[in-house]
Amino acid sequence: MKLATLKNGRRDGQLLVVSRDLRMAVAVPDIASTMQQVLEEWQAKHRALDEVYRALNAGIATGAFVLDVAQLAAPLPRAYQWADGSAYLVHSELVRKARGAELTPELWHDPLMYQGCGDSLLGARDDVALESTDWGIDLEGEVAVFTDDVPMGVSPQQAKGHIRLIALVNDVSLRGLVPAELAKGFGFFQSKPWTAFSPVAVTPDELGDAWDGQRVHLPLTVHVNEDLLGQPNAGVDMVFDFPQLIAHAAKTRPLGAGTIVGSGTVSNGDRSVGSACLAEKRALETVRDGKPGTPFLTFGDRMTIDMFDRNGNSVFGAISQRVVEYAPPLLA
């Protein structure tokens, strides 16, 4: 099943069921009006939604219309919790190597995780508006899962049963602001602005054998403008799988329905597949040449993140966003 949210002038938008080929959609107000409602009432709602999905794919759904991806918000336009991990340690290892540091041993056993701004999540075609290119604007291609209510203290095996939806992520990062923030010893804040999501979120069964209950075993295709940045496989070199990340987040607190947990930048030890962020490419250049040659993003650049199944079909639809200059409000 594929679900999306249509922009309708309200913060939580209108829930849509979307066809497998991402061409058609239908609203289902008699079942649920928002994605948050679905996640809070999953057991009561998902079977009825799946019946609509089957009818939509068969071409017999009442009220179906042609989907305009540009009119979609993030599948969950605002989340009570957006927690992003760092599961691909080959990425962290490389970035640290470029600045002459090493991974500490505990990071191989206890995942890194930060809390991002979940109050406003970007749709797949929304511009990324920022004030300055001096901030080191970067994209990060990731995979994320949406949960229902997760009790505190769950095991990874138990956490697996709370994964309801999967989506792609562009976790925009401002690399120029990161060092000063981390030096304070209190984590990211200003360096992690709005995060964007794929047009649809899908139930795990949509991925077939590419989903093993823990990881998505498909390449993530990332472009900057017309240039391919990389196609790392999301199922390779993921040291901490999604159930482990959820269990980590829930160690000392329950997670409310609608929590989103991200994988961190998808990265493979096989560097021939490229990268899912510019910081990694710049780190490779630094290790090889002593300094980076690839610039960060500037105004007018476009970021595209997609994932294709083994038949070449887009699973989630593409995230495709421009970086634009933000004009702050005038002082009164």
Question: pLDDT, tens digit, for every residue of 17-58?
Answer: 999 999 999 999 999 999 999 999 999 999 999 999 999 999
From the number of C-beta atoms within 10 Å of its C-beta (0-12, 13-18, 19+), residue 79 rates as: buried
Pairwise CA distance, residues 252 & 134, whole Å: 38
Mean pLDDT of 151-165: 98
Sign, CA dihedral 231-233-239-245, equals positive
Segment 227-255, tens digit of pLDDT: 999 999 999 999 999 999 999 999 999 99
CA-angle at 38, arms to 36 and 41, nearest 5°: 110
Pairwise CA distance, residues 134 & 87, whole Å: 28
pLDDT band at 332 (very low <50, low <70, confident <90, very high): low
Average pLDDT score, the chain = 96
pLDDT band at 328 (very low <50, low <70, confident <90, very high): confident
User: How many other β-carbons are positioned within 10 Å of the β-carbon of residue 147?
Assistant: 25
Q: Which of 5-9, 88-92, 250-254 has the lowest mean pLDDT?
A: 88-92
* Predicted confidence (pLDDT) at residue 107 exceeds the cutoff of 90: no
Q: Which helix (H) or strand (E) holds 182?
A: helix 178-183
Superfamily covering domain 81-325 = Fumarylacetoacetase-like, C-terminal domain (3.90.850.10)
Question: DSSP letter at 33?
Answer: S
pTM, two decimals, is: 0.96
pLDDT band at 100 (very low <50, low <70, confident <90, very high): confident
Show me where the domains of the chain are located: 2-71, 81-325
Mean pLDDT of 150-166: 98
Strand 81-85, strand 259-262: pairing: parallel
Q: Which of 176-185, 229-238, 251-260 has the lowest mean pLDDT?
A: 176-185
- What pLDDT does residue 98 have? 78
* Predicted confidence (pLDDT) at residue 331 exceeds the cutoff of 80: no
Residues forming a β-bridge with 255: 150
* Predicted confidence (pLDDT) at residue 121 exceeds the cutoff of 80: yes
- What pLDDT does residue 175 have? 94
